[in-house]
Amino acid sequence: MSEVRAVRNLRLCSKDCLCLYVCPTGATDTETGQIDFTKCIGCGACSKACPSGAISMVPYKYPKAQVKDELVVDRLKRIINSKVEQEQIAHYIKDNSTDEKEKLLAKVLMRANRLISEDLYREAGYMLPQNKNTKDFLNELLEKDSTNKETIEKLLTLIDFHE
């Protein structure tokens, strides 16, 4: 099997269709607009031919993520704790306030704080879903709470984790 596959950025695609002409397997011609990964042999012809730079070649296996210093992770997690709490308070205000202005501000704060926490997690050792940290997190979650057993187990099988 090839080490890479082609993916199409639909926002950049200008429908010049050169990828359809050069693809040796027909993988680039689909009803969803995305490339058929099962047909793609990773030759890269479509990516080279695309005049809009809409097709990139991505690896099946990603290299290991950068190891993060424990002290840095600790500091970032403290900010996450605070931001998540702010998101939750804003959520409470949005659900309980009767004032439209307050609700709107709460909604904005919910979204912004969530985005900040997500970004912080990326730098706190969870940049790549394939990272071992993700695997450990999912296993701990499985022990703690069996309600989502199926979903978590599915993720553990689907993701190609680094050891």
Of 44 and 129, nearer to other proteins (C-beta) is 129
Task: Give the integer Cα–Cα distance in Å for 127 and 70.
Answer: 15
- Rounded to the nearest 5 percent, the helix, strand and coil shares of the chain are 55, 5, 40
Of 17 and 108, nearer to other proteins (C-beta) is 108
Q: Which stretch binds other proteins (CB under 8 A): 19-27, 38-46, 47-55, 155-163?
A: 155-163
Task: Give the integer Cα–Cα distance in Å for 39 and 5.
Answer: 10
Of 47 and 117, nearer to other proteins (C-beta) is 117
Single residue of 23, 40, 55, 76 touching other proteins by CB under 8 A = 76
Q: In sequence order, what DSSP letters do the residues of 85-105 get, joined into one string?
A: HHHHHHHHHHHH---HHHHHH
SS3 at position 148: coil
13 makes contact with other proteins (CB under 8 A): no
SS3 at position 6: strand
Angle, alpha carbons 88-94-96 (nearest 5°) = 100
* Residue 45 and residue 92 in contact, taking contact as beta carbons nearer than 8 Å: no
Task: Give the integer Cα–Cα distance in Å for 24 and 83.
Answer: 49
CA atoms within 13 A on the CB side of 32: 8
Q: What is the size of the binding site for other proteins (CB under 8 A)?
A: 67
Single residue of 2, 92, 136, 146 touching other proteins by CB under 8 A = 92
Single residue of 85, 136, 139, 149 touching other proteins by CB under 8 A = 85
112 makes contact with other proteins (CB under 8 A): yes
114 makes contact with other proteins (CB under 8 A): yes
135 makes contact with other proteins (CB under 8 A): no
Binding footprint of other proteins on the chain (CB under 8 A): 7, 11, 34, 37, 58, 62, 66, 68-69, 71-72, 74-93, 100-102, 104-105, 107-109, 111-123, 126-129, 134, 137, 141, 147-148, 151-152, 154-155, 158-159
